């Protein structure tokens, strides 16, 4: 499973924990750079995880449109591992 994380700056611990959950590839976009507004979700992405406490409303709308266009599952979560893990478990259960 491949995941794109949008938001946050340093995600080393989260990336390591996601790998332990069976997620093979983790891509990351901070959402703070001007170029990030022209985001294109990679085609092999299974899930987009938006860290809500590190991203603005305009970037959220861009991500929603891209996810819908690519038929990619999108999740919203706080940056805490407990919240992320809960969302990830819901994916594996469904």
* 57 or 91: which leads in pLDDT: 57
Structure confidence by residue, pLDDT tens digits, 7-62: 888 888 899 998 888 888 999 888 766 655 677 888 889 999 999 887 888 888 88
Check residues 65 and 31 and name the one with the higher pLDDT.
65
Please say if the pLDDT value at position 81 is more than 60: yes
Per-residue pLDDT at 30:
82
Domain locations in the chain as residue ranges: 2-93
Angle separating helix axes 81-93 and 12-20, nearest 10 degrees: 30
* Residue 94: predicted pLDDT: 54
CATH 3.40.50 fits 2-93, yes or no: yes
Tell me what pLDDT residue 11 has: 87
pTM of the predicted protein model: 0.84
């Amino acid at each position: 499973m491949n995941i794109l994380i949008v938001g946050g700056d340093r995600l080393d611990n989260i990336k390591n924990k996601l790998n332990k959950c069976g997620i093979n590839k983790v891509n990351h976009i901070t959402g703070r750079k001007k170029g990030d507004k022209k985001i294109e979700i990679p085609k092999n992405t299974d899930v987009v995880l938006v860290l809500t406490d590190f991203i603005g409303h305009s970037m959220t709308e861009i991500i929603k449109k891209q996810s819908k266009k690519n038929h990619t599952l999108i999740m919203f979560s706080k940056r805490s591992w407990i919240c992320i893990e809960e969302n990830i478990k819901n994916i594996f259960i469904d």
